[in-house]
């Protein structure tokens, strides 16, 4: 979730790069950097934190005449947000910027290290520049070396490389991460989305996966695995906000679609062949820990609640979850054998932060699960695991919830390994399921269209009940929260088995029940709970892999082999349902009334 810009031409390069990065800052801002080659001279600057720090650092630097230049703004995934980990990454005479993940970077890194290459950063990106220089030494042809480098990369990437070995050229490649080329006469621009080049370039070409090439002397040579390729440019849109949404109507919609991809980043380097590993936690981290307490708010509280089932079931450790604002004033009994976990997308939620401070004062070991490195909660915690969701702009949290839940599932297994409560067989099954999650999160056109059509039937009534059991109960809570915050319709999440203890009194045809009916978890139990509601004429929208006769509406899910696969697939259905209802009601999906993305007051 980083941003890339590049420019080749005669204009002032520093300003073009910094302005471009400014437009991409919404994607990530824990560090930024630029590299410029003019004549044969290579200059580079990096700064941690917001872009203004890089501006300050480059205040006296100016470019003149023709040159090539690349820039990057980073949202930390591999390694801390330090200058060394900031892009551009340097070889001996070349610089690279990159978005995405090089999945085989550990293998490549080992190979290069064994040949004497010294790595400065913890990133996967740095392998690209060293590979390039290795092949350049062998082939003595910069483009051939770049092409050879690209052949070696596995995973998703959009990358730009400049080198003193070809000081008038920018090399580029794209596979799985977005990248485009902008044109204005001889001036050539690169960017990871439209916004940095709007108002600068007139025409644009959106690179396709597998394409690579170079820009030189005002022209671009493009290749794919069939050889050189011609391409047709198109006029560039002029609407920046539209461009930031990358073709989606709302940031929330974009973020729902992104979940499949970001989940790969969440798991990267952590979900290994035969175990789950967190380099953030040292081996002794769980020593002396006999219980877990989790504090969080809103959506993050729901992921915590789901995790409490997983910790007890998988890691066999007592786990108790509290809403942070309640925890703060209840004079809780805290014992030092309890690991205190906070969960927060922003890392700045006041109630969660204060709960953490209380736990620290009581001498508890703390761990935060957070999407923003260097945030207050991360800084305050003994250890932190980043969810790597990338910036979330929609107030209604989607990919943050998905990645938090994933990290917590991974953590439950990791603890289970440590406490030897999971067999290798169970571990293998869980890992196999984890690796399928990105696929389960893909939003198909058919699913989205179905939810769009269904939504028109759910715009009135006197309320919604989302019901589920076990981990599907927190998912029901989350589905209800999504709906209420962006549709302004009343919705409640409830444990399915609890409806008969009171809420069923509300049942009539105007009570909408969204029933989460996983095949792999208490199917018969929830089925009879839904039958009870149906018998009282409640309108039922069932979500299940198993066709359900009594449903008024039915969304059939595909996965029926593992509860977490069902969980994530159903999560997407509830998110799309909320989105489509909100759109039909004409609400502001991304900025619902009365809400803020980060709640920094009590």
Q: Is 8 near ligand M6R (CB under 6 A)?
A: no
Q: What is the DSSP string of 434-483?
A: HHHHHHHT---HHHHHHHHHHHTT-SSSSEEEEEESTTHHHHHHHHHHHH
Span near ligand M6R by CB under 6 A; candidates 132-140, 167-175, 185-193, 291-299: 291-299
Q: Is 211 near ligand M6R (CB under 6 A)?
A: no
Q: How far apart, in Å, are the Cα atoms of 88 and each of 4, 45, 71, 136, 456?
A: 10, 8, 7, 19, 49
Task: Report cis status (omega within 30 of 0) of the bond before 38.
Answer: no
Q: Tell me the β-bridge partners of 339.
A: 292, 365
Q: Which listed residue (360, 393, 419, 597) is catalytic?
A: 597
Judged by beta carbon, residue 50 or residue 597, the one nearer ligand M6R is 597
Judged by beta carbon, residue 198 or residue 491, the one nearer ligand M6R is 491
Judged by beta carbon, residue 383 or residue 550, the one nearer ligand M6R is 383
Choosing from 22, 149, 349, 417, the residue that interacts with ligand M6R (CB under 6 A) is 349
Q: 110: exposed, middle or buried (C-beta count within 10 Å: 0-12, 13-18, 19+)? A: exposed
Cβ contacts of residue 332 below 8 Å, gap of 6+? 293, 322, 358
Judged by beta carbon, residue 297 or residue 526, the one nearer ligand M6R is 297
Judged by beta carbon, residue 400 or residue 422, the one nearer ligand M6R is 400
Report how far residue 61's alpha carbon sits from residue 224's, in angstroms, rounded to the nearest whole number: 37
Span near ligand M6R by CB under 6 A; candidates 20-28, 184-192, 218-226, 343-351: 343-351
Q: Is 346 near ligand M6R (CB under 6 A)?
A: yes
Which positions from 9 to 48 touch ligand M6R by CB under 6 A, shown as an x/- string? ----------------------------------------
Choosing from 22, 99, 344, 539, the residue that interacts with ligand M6R (CB under 6 A) is 344
Judged by beta carbon, residue 146 or residue 568, the one nearer ligand M6R is 568
Q: Is 483 near ligand M6R (CB under 6 A)?
A: no
Span near ligand M6R by CB under 6 A; candidates 26-34, 192-200, 298-306, 495-503: 298-306
Report how far residue 95's alpha carbon sits from residue 34's, in angstroms, rounded to the nearest whole number: 9
Shortest distance, position 254 Cβ to ligand M6R, whole Å: 15
Q: Which residue is nearest to ligand M6R (CB)?
A: 298
Report how far residue 122's alpha carbon sits from residue 338's, in angstroms, rounded to the nearest whole number: 32
Judged by beta carbon, residue 94 or residue 344, the one nearer ligand M6R is 344
Contacts with ligand M6R in 380-439 (CB under 6 A)?
395-397
Q: What is the 3 state secondary structure string of 130-144? A: HHHHHHHHHHCCHHH
Copy the structure tokens of residue 540: 């039922």
Q: Is 384 helix (H, G, I), strand (E, B) or coil?
A: strand
Shortest distance, position 41 Cβ to ligand M6R, whole Å: 44
Q: Which letter, b or e, does each residue of 468-496 get, where b requires 16 or more Cβ atoms within 10 Å of its Cβ?
A: bbbbbbbbbbbbbbbbbbbbebebbbbbb
Instruction: Confirm whether 527 is a catalytic residue.
Output: no
Length of the chain: 602
Report how far residue 134's alpha carbon sits from residue 149's, in angstroms, rounded to the nearest whole number: 9
Choosing from 126, 485, 569, 580, the residue that interacts with ligand M6R (CB under 6 A) is 485
Query: What angle separates helix 251-267 from helix 424-440, to the nearest 10 degrees?
Result: 150
Instruction: Confirm whether 316 is a catalytic residue.
Output: no
Q: Which listed residue (2, 297, 319, 370) is catalytic?
A: 2
Q: Is 297 near ligand M6R (CB under 6 A)?
A: yes
Which candidate, 455, 291, 456, 279, places its Cα nearest to that of 364?
291
User: What is the total count of residues that contact ligand M6R (CB under 6 A)?
Assistant: 16
Residues serving a catalytic function are 2, 597
Rule CB under 6 A: which residues touch ligand M6R? Answer: 297-300, 344-346, 349, 352, 395-397, 481, 485, 598-599
């Amino acid at each position: 979730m980083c941003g890339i810009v590049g420019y080749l031409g005669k204009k002032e390069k520093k300003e073009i790069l910094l302005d471009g990065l400014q437009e991409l800052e919404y994607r990530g801002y824990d560090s930024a950097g630029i590299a410029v080659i003019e004549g044969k001279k290579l200059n580079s600057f990096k700064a941690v934190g917001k872009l203004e720090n890089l501006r300050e650092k480059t205040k006296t630097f100016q470019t003149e005449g023709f040159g090539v230049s690349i820039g990057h703004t980073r949202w930390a995934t591999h390694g801390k947000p330090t200058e060394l980990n900031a892009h551009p990454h340097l070889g001996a005479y070349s610089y690279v910027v990159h978005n995405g993940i090089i999945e085989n970077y550990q293998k490549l890194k080992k190979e290069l290290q064994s040949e004497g290459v010294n790595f400065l950063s913890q990133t996967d990106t740095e392998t690209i520049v060293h590979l390039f220089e290795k092949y350049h030494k062998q082939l003595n042809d910069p483009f051939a070396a770049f092409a050879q480098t690209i052949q070696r990369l596995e995973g998703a990437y959009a990358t730009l490389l400049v080198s003193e070995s070809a000081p008038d050229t920018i090399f580029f490649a794209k596979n799985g991460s977005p990248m485009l080329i902008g044109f204005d006469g001889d001036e050539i621009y690169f960017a990871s989305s439209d916004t940095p080049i709007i108002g600068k370039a007139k025409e644009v070409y959106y690179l396709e996966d597998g394409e690579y090439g170079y820009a030189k002397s005002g022209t671009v040579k493009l290749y794919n695995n069939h050889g050189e390729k011609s391409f047709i440019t198109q006029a560039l849109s002029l609407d920046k906000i539209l461009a930031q949404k990358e073709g989606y109507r709302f940031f929330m919609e974009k973020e729902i679609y992104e979940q499949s991809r970001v989940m790969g980043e969440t798991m990267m380097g952590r979900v290994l062949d035969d175990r789950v590993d967190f380099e953030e936690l040292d081996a002794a981290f769980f020593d002396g820990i006999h219980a877990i307490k989790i504090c969080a708010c809103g959506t993050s509280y729901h992921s915590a609640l789901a995790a409490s089932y997983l910790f007890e079931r998988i890691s066999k450790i007592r786990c108790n979850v509290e809403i942070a604002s309640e925890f703060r004033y209840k004079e809780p009994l805290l014992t030092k054998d309890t690991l205190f976990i906070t969960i927060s997308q922003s890392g700045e939620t006041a109630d969660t932060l204060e709960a953490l401070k209380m736990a620290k004062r009581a001498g508890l070991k703390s761990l935060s699960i957070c999407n923003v490195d260097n945030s207050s909660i991360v800084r305050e915690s003994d250890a932190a695991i980043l969810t790597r969701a990338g910036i979330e702009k929609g107030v209604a949290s989607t990919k943050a919830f998905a990645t938090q839940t994933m990290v917590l599932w991974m953590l439950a297994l990791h603890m289970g390994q440590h406490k030897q409560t999971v067999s290798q067989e169970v571990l293998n099954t869980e890992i196999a399921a984890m690796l399928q999650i990105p696929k389960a999160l893909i939003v198909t056109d058919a699913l989205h269209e179905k939810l769009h059509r269904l939504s028109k039937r759910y715009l009135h009534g006197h309320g919604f009940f989302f019901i589920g059991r076990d981990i599907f109960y927190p998912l029901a809570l989350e589905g209800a929260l999504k709906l209420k915050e962006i549709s302004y319709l009343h919705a409640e999440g409830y444990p399915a088995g609890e409806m008969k203890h009171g809420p069923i009194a509300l049942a009539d045809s105007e009570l909408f029940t969204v029933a989460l009916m996983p095949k792999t978890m208490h199917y018969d139990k929830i089925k009879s709970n839904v039958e009870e509601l149906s018998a009282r004429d409640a309108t039922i929208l069932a979500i299940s892999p198993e066709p359900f006769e009594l449903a008024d509406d039915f969304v059939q899910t595909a996965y029926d082999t593992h509860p977490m696969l069902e969980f994530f697939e159903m999560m997407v259905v509830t998110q799309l349902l909320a989105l489509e209802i909100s759109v039909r009601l004409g609400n502001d999906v991304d900025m619902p009334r009365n809400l803020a993305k980060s709640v920094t007051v009590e």
